[in-house]
Copies of this chain bind each other. A is one copy, B any other.
Amino acid sequence: MSFAPQPTDAAAIATIRILAADVVAKSNSGHPGAPMGMAPAAHILFSRFMNANPKSSKWFNRDRFVLSVLDLTCERNPCVLQYTMLHLLGYKLSMDDLKAFRQLDSLTPGHPEAGHTDGIEVTTGPLGQGFANGVGLAIGQAHLGAVYNKDGFELINNYTYVFCGDGCLMEGVSAEAASLAGHLQLGNLIVVYDDNHISIDGDTACAFTEDVGGRFVSYGWQVLQVDNGDSDLAAISDAITAARLEKSKPTIIKLKTTIGFGSKEQGTHGVHGAPLKADDIAALKTKFGFSPNEKFHVPKETYDAYAEAAKRGATSEASWNALLASYGEKYPTEHAELSRRMAGKLPEGWEKSLPVYKASDSAQASRKLSEIVLTALSPVIPDLMGGSADLTGSNLTKVKGSTDFQPSSTNLGTYAGTYIRYGVREHAMGAIANGLAAYGGIVPFVATFLNFVSYAAGAVRLSALSKAQVIWVATHDSIGLGEDGPTHQPVETNAHFRAIPNLAFWRPADGNETSAAYAVALKSTQTPSILSLSRQNLPNLEASTIELASRGGYVVHEETGEDLTIVSCGSEVSIAVEAAKKLKEQGLKTRVVSLPCWLVFDQQDLEYRLSVLRSGAPILSLEALSTLGWEKYSHEQYGLPSWGASGPYLKVYEKFGITGSNIAVVGKKVVDFYKKKGGEVVSPLIKAFTL
Which residues of A are interface residues toward B (Cβ below 8 A)? Answer: 27, 29-30, 74-75, 77, 102-106, 109-111, 113, 123-128, 166-168, 170-176, 179-180, 182-183, 199-201, 205-215, 217-220, 273, 388, 390-394, 404, 406, 410, 412, 421-428, 451-452, 454-455, 457-458, 461-462, 465, 482-488, 491-492, 495-502, 618, 626-629, 631-632, 635-643, 645-648, 651-652, 655, 666, 669-670, 672-674, 677, 679-680, 682, 684, 687-689, 691
Residue among A75, A179, A636 with the highest chain B CB neighbour number at 10 A? A179
Contact of A110 among B166, B212, B488 (CB under 8 A): B488
CA distance A684 to B168 in the complex (A): 45
> When the two chains form their complex, are residues A425 and B125 in contact, meaning their CB atoms are under 8 A apart?
no
CA distance A462 to B652 in the complex (A): 20
13 A–B contacts, CB within 8 A, in A order: A29-B482, A124-B487, A183-B208, A218-B218, A273-B393, A427-B455, A455-B458, A461-B491, A465-B487, A495-B496, A502-B642, A618-B688, A638-B691
> When the two chains form their complex, are residues B465 and A458 in contact, meaning their CB atoms are under 8 A apart?
no
- Give the oligomeric copy count: 2
What 9 additional pairs, Cβ within 8 angstroms, besides A454-B461, A492-B497?
A: A109-B485, A170-B176, A170-B390, A172-B428, A183-B207, A200-B392, A210-B218, A210-B220, A492-B496
Contact of A176 among B172, B412, B638 (CB under 8 A): B172
> When the two chains form their complex, are residues B206 and A648 in contact, meaning their CB atoms are under 8 A apart?
no
Given contacts A103-B647, A183-B209, A200-B391, contact A127 B424 (CB under 8 A): yes
> Which residues of chain B are near A636, meaning CB under 8 Å?
687-689
In the complex, residue of chain B having the shortest beta-carbon distance to the beta carbon of A484: B110
CA distance A502 to B286 in the complex (A): 59
In the complex, residue of chain B having the shortest beta-carbon distance to the beta carbon of A389: B170
Contact of A483 among B27, B168, B491, B640 (CB under 8 A): B27
> When the two chains form their complex, are residues B488 and A126 in contact, meaning their CB atoms are under 8 A apart?
yes
> Which residues of chain B are near A673, meaning CB under 8 Å?
687-689
CB distance from A530 to the nearest CB of B (A): 13
CB distance from A394 to the nearest CB of B (A): 7
> Which residues of chain B are near A618, meaning CB under 8 Å?
688
CA distance A127 to B125 in the complex (A): 26
> When the two chains form their complex, are residues A172 and B173 in contact, meaning their CB atoms are under 8 A apart?
yes
User: Which 5 A/B pairs are nearest by Cβ-Cβ distance?
Assistant: A172-B172, A104-B647, A631-B631, A109-B646, A125-B487
CA distance A105 to B610 in the complex (A): 42
> When the two chains form their complex, are residues A495 and B628 in contact, meaning their CB atoms are under 8 A apart?
yes
> When the two chains form their complex, are residues B170 and A172 in contact, meaning their CB atoms are under 8 A apart?
no
> Which residues of chain B are near A220, meaning CB under 8 Å?
209-211
> When the two chains form their complex, are residues A410 and B205 in contact, meaning their CB atoms are under 8 A apart?
yes
Contact of A631 among B173, B488, B632 (CB under 8 A): B632
> When the two chains form their complex, are residues A486 and B458 in contact, meaning their CB atoms are under 8 A apart?
no
CA distance A438 to B310 in the complex (A): 58
In the complex, residue of chain B having the shortest beta-carbon distance to the beta carbon of A167: B424
CB distance from A325 to the nearest CB of B (A): 39
CA distance A344 to B41 in the complex (A): 54
Given contacts A496-B492, A496-B499, A498-B628, contact A218 B207 (CB under 8 A): no
Contact of A200 among B171, B394, B501 (CB under 8 A): B394
Contact of A406 among B206, B645, B651 (CB under 8 A): B206
CB distance from A139 to the nearest CB of B (A): 13
CA distance A151 to B22 in the complex (A): 59
> When the two chains form their complex, are residues A491 and B487 in contact, meaning their CB atoms are under 8 A apart?
no
> Which residues of chain B are near A672, meaning CB under 8 Å?
688
> When the two chains form their complex, are residues B125 and A488 in contact, meaning their CB atoms are under 8 A apart?
yes
> Which residues of chain B are near A691, meaning CB under 8 Å?
627, 637-641
> When the two chains form their complex, are residues B170 and A425 in contact, meaning their CB atoms are under 8 A apart?
yes
> Which residues of chain B are near A219, meaning CB under 8 Å?
210-211, 215
CA distance A666 to B691 in the complex (A): 10
CB distance from A57 to the nearest CB of B (A): 21
> Which residues of chain B are near A113, meaning CB under 8 Å?
485-487
In the complex, residue of chain B having the shortest beta-carbon distance to the beta carbon of A688: B673
> When the two chains form their complex, are residues B208 and A218 in contact, meaning their CB atoms are under 8 A apart?
no
In the complex, residue of chain B having the shortest beta-carbon distance to the beta carbon of A502: B642
> When the two chains form their complex, are residues A171 and B176 in contact, meaning their CB atoms are under 8 A apart?
yes
CB distance from A506 to the nearest CB of B (A): 17
Residue among A218, A498, A499, A669 with the highest chain B CB neighbour number at 10 A? A499
Residue among A29, A220, A424, A648 with the highest chain B CB neighbour number at 10 A? A424
> Which residues of chain B are near A109, meaning CB under 8 Å?
485-486, 645-646
In the complex, residue of chain B having the shortest beta-carbon distance to the beta carbon of A69: B487
CB distance from A250 to the nearest CB of B (A): 12
> When the two chains form their complex, are residues B646 and A102 in contact, meaning their CB atoms are under 8 A apart?
yes
